[in-house]
Amino acid sequence: MAKTKTTKRRRTSSDDATATKRTRADVAPVHPGGVLEDHSVFGQLVGRSGLVLTAGNQPNQLAVDQAVFQRNLRLAIKKHQDFPQVVDEFLEGLQAHVEDPDRFSSSLTATMTAAECEDSCRGGKQDCLMRLLLGVEIIQPKVMIVLLEKLPEFMGDDDDQMFDSDATAQIPRLILNQFRWLDRIVDSKLLCRKMLEMLGITTVDIQRDIISCLPEVIDDTEHNNVATQLKDKLSDRQLMVAVLDALSNLNVRPELMTEIRLAVLRKVPGAELQDLPVVVKFLLQSVSTHDAVEVVRELRDQLDLTPGLSTERGAAGGNAASSSRGSEALILDAIRSGITFQKAIAEAWIKAVENVPNAAEHKDVDVLVLLLLHSTAVTKTRRRAVEGLLRAKVRSGKFTHDLLRKTFTTHAQILREYFQSVLTMAEVLLRSPEPAVELFGCHVYQEAFRAFDMYCRQEVVGSLVTHIGSGVTSEVDSALDVLCQLVRDMPSAMAPFSVFIKGVLDYLDNLTVAQIRKLFSMLGTLAFSGTQDGAHIQDDMHILIRKQLSNTTPKYKRMGVIGAIMVVRSLGARREEGAPSISKDFYDQITGLLGMVRTSCQHMPDEYALFMDELACVMQNRQLDEKVEAWISEDVLTDFQDDYVVDVEADRISQSSTSLPLDLCYNLEDGDELEEGNIAVNLLPLLEAAGEMKGSPARKGRKRLVSPACLAPHFRLLRYCQQAQCGGDLEGIDALLGCPMYLFKEEAVEKVESLSVHEKELMCAALFHTLNWFREVINGFSSQSDPEMRGKVLVRLQNITHVQGLLNTCLAATPGFVPPRAIFDCEVETISVPAAGAARKGRKKAAKGGKKSPVGEKSPDPNDTISTATQDGTQPEKDSTEGDKEEKQTIVNLEHYRAFFRELDLEVFSILKCGMVSKSVLDTEMHTKETTVLELQPTELLFLLKDLNRKLEHVLIATAKRKTFLKTKSERNYGFSHLDQYTAQEVAEQVVQLLPALCDHLESTCTYFQEWVYWQ
């Protein structure tokens, strides 16, 4: 050790008593050979006992074994002629010896064994001089005082420092190490008192060392006294960790420990993040079974694992983050240790999390603790209890996605250590029959993929693929939704796992049309994302799609249609603004693929209708390049005009050969303007022709089959193409809103009972197609702001309720009728046709003397017919007077046929906000001839409200509602394909905008009934 200049050293209490004698101490000259010649009592006695003192910073030497030296020294002191005064003289010499920094340093380092006696000693190195002296009981107490009083000399003050900087840091630890593991401490109280005294006059670093040393050197009887003294040091943040470490190793009476715990709990909010591991460990280790719940609750309330503001202020960037993560890991290790080894601690944490009253008070530590509890659970009972608590928190809305996202974002590296528990919890949640819990499981999967490394991401994708193979519809849907979201948000990160997703193609036979759409959507995005991993599956997709399109089985044909549309969407994806258009190669691939789909489906109307609907969905979202959109729009408009629109001709009706009398119905154009050259939808002739062609065995070689089943889907695609080309304006096709339809005469409905089965079924099919045409027309034009168009939309809505009444009559007379399909993204076999039991017989006429209905109407409204039926479809019995004749009429509940009607878009409900619309009819001189005021009537209002209610029940699922695996319930989900494109929040936001209009309608209804009651 390098020498430094010696300055005036600090004086202690023992210095004054021995100052005079010390001046007379013999000066120790240095022997030329390096041996220190000390003629003091100290030097003489240790020399005779076998110790050779060396000069400078060289280690001292022992010529005997250390035990022999201690025995010799003890005997030499006892037998000295001046005993016991010789002890004080010995200490004076020792103090003089250690005044020199080098000699003091040497006295704290191991002694070397002399070469001539190594064989008789315990080794080449033996205990240091100070340790040897402490082993001599006669002088031990005073040697201890000498050593401890050296500690203030290491204050680190440059103006009053005996030792260099290295010594200042190391020597205090060496001093305190001398007291550890002594065979016997003669006066433990003296040592304890002196060490506590040093706490007030030494630096913080030395105080930490002293506090850490205390539990190892004090007697058990001093533990409570020391604990009381250390409790007062908790107010010093710099000493808190050392104090808690020491208190953890003391045997303290329970009352005092409770006081200490309360003091520590009060310090938690202000503690540095790096100090919290020790704080948490102390609290959990010192807690008793009796007060575990209260202590853990207080700890949870005070604990904040947000990356420390104080930590980041004190360190730079990466070091701060690394320190923070290390501290978090140590905190969780302390909690895990408490949970693992103390059952009461685990139960207390469960209660602490369980008793948090609301979502705002939950913290990321709650999520972390539940994962700890799950990972350390050794029994199924404990594991299920944790899973049950998590489900309950999610079900009640107290665990939110925001909390989950914050936890994964802030503590990703910590959660990585508990990845298996994260994965297990996600699997359990996603399999839950409760929609809210299932959705939370999806969020766990998504956040885990975003936060973790490649290995964990592979495990996440593999687990999701396993869910897809489970066969449970809700589980498959959720897993596909998670994968779709990840592919949309992180395509490059998902690309390496394309092979896993491609493996789902093996389960195609078990997937629904909607699920197949999600799968092909992912594969298309990955295949054409430009990554090497995605390029490997392009050829496989093309081969599979061609194979499916060439298959004559409708099921596989539908798969090919959906796959082709998804590939088109990916190939022709709209570029960013300013980017070049798609290449000619991609354009040719797109047009060729669409042409292939069209050709392969030309004799299969249902699959062709699916093609129209799928392409319409892509056009709706404006996902294609403008060049591709223009090509599609041109073809769609031409085909629609050729297939479904005809000119109004005077002799068309008279020359018709249809089974039912042909008529031009539901015209909204002015009567004077309806003349030859106007257009009409050619429904009934097409329907009858399609039926004949469908039954023809030689249909395969003919041209494309034009089916009324494709009318509504084709128009949907047409209007989205028109909106894409004209900025949302439908003026170019507004003639389709008001044009008439070639249908049968309405009088034929009154004679339906006398018609043949074929004619009845033709009539029913025509009415179904008419309703679906009107529904799709309303979908298209309800968003238009033109007053004339809005007036026509209201009339079309009235047409729907009117045609429903006609359909009721026809269906009642046609039992066993199978309606034409209107929803094409589901399996045919999963749509059940209403059985005969769906139509019940009830009483129509009341008795002559019976009470009449207060509202007189010419004919019963179809909605009234539905509403008067009970839940099982039967009509409640009415009292009748004697002698009355009963007429029985079959009542059909159209709710049972909902799967055969086109879905209404959310935009349709903007009609609810529509006030009165005036429609003016002009004469030949362009003067107003007639003005008609249109507004939403009760029947149409009820129709819209019922549909809105169904939509809200579907998308805004109650938290406690449970899904079922029963297939008989699956029909309730049909007819919501368009709605499912929106999130629950988006639907809620749109419906909230309708509330003022709904309140107005409610007020009008209340006013009507109040007036009605008044006049009764």
- Name residue 373's amino acid: L
- Name residue 809's amino acid: T
Strand order in the sheet with 61-62: 51-52, 61-62, 111-113, 125-126
pLDDT at 166: 57
Q: How many Cα atoms occupy the beta-carbon half-sphere of 57 within 13 Å?
A: 9
Asked whether the predicted pLDDT for residue 60 surpasses 80, the reply is yes
pLDDT at 806: 95
Asked whether the predicted pLDDT for residue 644 surpasses 50, the reply is yes
Asked whether the predicted pLDDT for residue 311 surpasses 70, the reply is no
End-to-end CA gap in the chain = 115
pLDDT at 157: 55
- Residues 609-640 pLDDT 10s: 999 999 999 999 888 999 999 999 999 999 99
Rounded CA separation 988/956 (Å): 8
More reliable by pLDDT, 618 or 35: 618
Asked whether the predicted pLDDT for residue 158 surpasses 70, the reply is no
State the angle between helix axes of 140-148 and 188-198 in degrees (0 to 180), rounded to the nearest 10.
10
Inter-CA distances, 53 with 48, 49, 91, 114, 987, Å:
11, 12, 16, 12, 91
418 within 8 A of 371, measured Cβ to Cβ? yes
Rounded to the nearest 5 degrees, what angle is found at the Cα of 840, between the Cα atoms of 835 and 846?
Answer: 165
Strand, helix or coil at 35?
A: strand
- In the numeric block, which tokens belong to residue 306? 């947000």
Asked whether the predicted pLDDT for residue 2 surpasses 80, the reply is no
pLDDT at 235: 87
pLDDT at 875: 39
Rounded CA separation 130/144 (Å): 9
Asked whether the predicted pLDDT for residue 780 surpasses 60, the reply is yes
- Residues 672-697 pLDDT 10s: 455 666 899 999 999 988 876 555 54
Inter-CA distances, 923 with 143, 556, 675, 735, Å:
126, 57, 16, 20
- Residues 238-297 pLDDT 10s: 899 999 999 999 999 999 999 999 999 988 888 888 888 999 999 999 888 888 999 999
Confidence of residue 115 (pLDDT cuts 50, 70, 90): confident
494 within 8 A of 465, measured Cβ to Cβ? no
pLDDT at 457: 96
pLDDT at 906: 94
Q: Which whole number is the average pLDDT over 404-418?
A: 92
The segment with the largest mean pLDDT, out of 112-116, 658-662, 755-759, 877-881, is 755-759
819 within 8 A of 838, measured Cβ to Cβ? no
Q: Which whole number is the average pLDDT over 42-63?
A: 90
Closest CA relative to residue 764, chosen from 817, 718, 716, 728: 817
- Name residue 707's amino acid: S
732 within 8 A of 764, measured Cβ to Cβ? no
- Residues 971-1013 pLDDT 10s: 556 788 899 889 889 999 999 999 999 999 999 889 989 988 8
The H or E element that residue 526 is part of is helix 513-527
Q: Which whole number is the average pLDDT over 792-804?
A: 95
517 within 8 A of 562, measured Cβ to Cβ? yes
The H or E element that residue 167 is part of is helix 165-177
Closest CA relative to residue 337, chosen from 325, 347, 326, 345: 345
- Residues 185-231 pLDDT 10s: 999 999 999 999 999 899 999 999 999 999 999 988 899 999 999 99
Rounded CA separation 353/362 (Å): 8
Asked whether the predicted pLDDT for residue 748 surpasses 60, the reply is yes
For residue 843, the cross-strand partners are 888
Quote the DSSP letter at residue 910. G
DSSP letters of 651-715?
TTTTT---SSPEEEE---S-GGG--BTBEEE-HHHHHHHHHHHHH-TT-TTSS----GGGHHHHH
| Spatial CB neighbours of 160, under 8 Å, sequence gap ≥ 6 | 7, 8, 9, 10
Q: Which whole number is the average pLDDT over 847-857?
A: 37
Confidence of residue 58 (pLDDT cuts 50, 70, 90): confident
pLDDT at 860: 38
Rounded CA separation 733/905 (Å): 19
